[in-house]
Chain A
């Protein structure tokens, strides 16, 4: 009797082994993403922007914060390719240095929220039962507040500045990430229980890590990329209304807010920072789209 049962189960197990276990290797992901033209364009634009901001001192000789490196309100010309602002500072320089803030907040806030989501989601998924229910209810209410409102509240509580803004933005995103992770865990868990019967030798933990993490990683990567754009816009918005990062820091949103009173006469003060934001977000969106298509292949088209 026993022999028969083992035989049946192991043949079942072999059958299940034939269906490829979803393990997404990072190299494979990168490979597939790079096949699509749009994601290549997105990646290229993003790299250009990121590298320009990192290597700002190499690209421009001006100081972003000291006033009057040039005459005020200059429209784009040979000396200042994007013109100067209301305090005579070179706009192109400010964009490059300010990009460090904007991009930094975008990446950091997304990373923060993804990390927290992974932790909370894993706890919920691993323990299951009451713990999971409580956490998911909490997420429901947490996500009832729009991210921006939460960010405004937290920002006002903590004050302006880089880290405070990162926290303010990141906290609002967490519930969505948690939901996604838990969904992944659920789908893997139900298939895992069947195999758990045979693999009594392997600890459940190691199964979960071997099969869980790869499944969790891919949607999280997509989520991370898509969130960057949103966070950059929100950060700019926060700076615009007086929270977030404030002048004289050259954060792109702050630049827009200082330009507000002069924009009627000097639109270039607004055009360039906004263009910078838009281009960056376009790049991340294209990249995110490419990633999403690569990781969830559509069979029909």
Chain B
């Protein structure tokens, strides 16, 4: 088991490094030099050149890449924001909690509610619960989350005055953002949950359990559900990606000073260190959650635990996703 975890962590680090390379390359390829953005077009060529030299962007690609990787991963120095002159790391730390609260809150909400709806739909196949739940899921999957967020603001903040529309004053501020983040995930989990339950329903071991005299309630809980969860968990990565990406927009809508908004401002201001670090933060967050998902996978399914606790874990991990 320990070997398994270590393998995963190693894989995670490798992916993060590769992701950092890609992020760096993309920002490197952004046309225009930072000096022009920072100093404005009025600055002279000489000033720009000096600034570029100061920032280090006139060095060859590989040198910059190496420098960046070294600083980020070995020294954990994320650099200073070129626009605000504050260390990026501080900023990220300040803003991380907000983004994390919304992201994790959204995940928890969508996993629980989504799976519950999916199970209800699957177990009652063909009946009204099934149709209603799937209709809800279809609507949730279609409506753009930031639009629903705006509508919720109109309804709950303006018309009803129950919840604050923006900012991060109190816990109440997070209710709407979390709900908005979770919508897509609820839809996906409900649909995949339903499919999963339908497949498990027909399995022989369910009939065996019934033949043993296990009441239907427990048949669902102890036999169907654990087996149905596996494919659902596979989806969590995709949902998480959406939530993270969506955080940029959600934070814009609700004016939440989180990492998403930070990224957006950084992008608009050509603030490379901030851009790189924010994206890396998101990648890191995703990887950590995926790590837990993989662990959950292994904890749930004894077959996987047996398979991956052995040598050659990293290679097998890369291949696993294709299974």
Convert A229-272 into 0s and 1s, putting 1 for each residue whose CB lies closer than 8 angstroms to a CB of B.
10001101100111100000000000010001001100100110
Q: Is the CB of A148 within 8 A of B144?
A: no
A contact residues, total (Cβ < 8 Å): 45
Set A142, A157, A179, A270: member contacting B31, Cβ < 8 A: A157
How many Å lie between the Cα of A237 and that of B18 in the bound state? 27
A151 and chain B: residue at smallest CB distance: B245
B contact residues, total (Cβ < 8 Å): 48
Q: Is the CB of B142 within 8 A of A145?
A: no
B85 to chain A, nearest CB (A): 21
Does any Cβ of B come within 8 Å of A88's Cβ? no
Q: In B170-222, which residues have CB < 8 Å from any A CB?
A: 202
A274 contacts across to B, CB distance below 8 A: 143-144, 147-148, 150-151
Q: Is the CB of B147 within 8 A of A278?
A: yes
Spot the interface stretch: A12-20, A62-70, A281-289. Answer: A281-289
How many Å lie between the Cα of A263 and that of B275 in the bound state? 31
A160 to chain B, nearest CB (A): 11
B184 and chain A: residue at smallest CB distance: A233
How many Å lie between the Cα of A237 and that of B146 in the bound state? 7
Q: In A147-173, which residues have CB < 8 Å from any B CB?
A: 147-150, 152-154, 156-157
B183 to chain A, nearest CB (A): 11
Q: Is the CB of B147 within 8 A of A149?
A: no
Q: Is the CB of B245 within 8 A of A149?
A: yes
B202 contacts across to A, CB distance below 8 A: 300
Does any Cβ of A come within 8 Å of B322's Cβ? yes
How many Å lie between the Cα of A274 and that of B180 in the bound state? 14
Q: Is the CB of A256 within 8 A of B146?
A: yes
B158 and chain A: residue at smallest CB distance: A264
Convert B237-270 into 0s and 1s, putting 1 for each residue whose CB lies closer than 8 angstroms to a CB of A.
0000110111011001100000000011001100
Q: Is the CB of B279 within 8 A of A145?
A: yes
The 6 closest A-B pairs by CB, nearest first: A148-B245, A274-B147, A282-B142, A146-B241, A157-B30, A146-B245
Show 27 A/B contacts (Cβ-Cβ < 8 Å), sorted by A: A136-B322, A144-B18, A144-B283, A145-B283, A146-B245, A147-B241, A148-B248, A149-B248, A149-B279, A152-B248, A153-B26, A153-B279, A156-B30, A179-B322, A236-B147, A241-B252, A242-B264, A242-B268, A256-B147, A260-B253, A267-B154, A270-B151, A274-B150, A278-B139, A285-B138, A285-B141, A286-B138
Query: Which of B's residues lie within 8 Å of A, judged by CB?
Result: 15, 18-19, 22-23, 26-27, 29-31, 138-139, 141-148, 150-151, 153-154, 158, 202, 241-242, 244-246, 248-249, 252-253, 263-264, 267-268, 275, 279, 282-283, 286-287, 318, 321-322
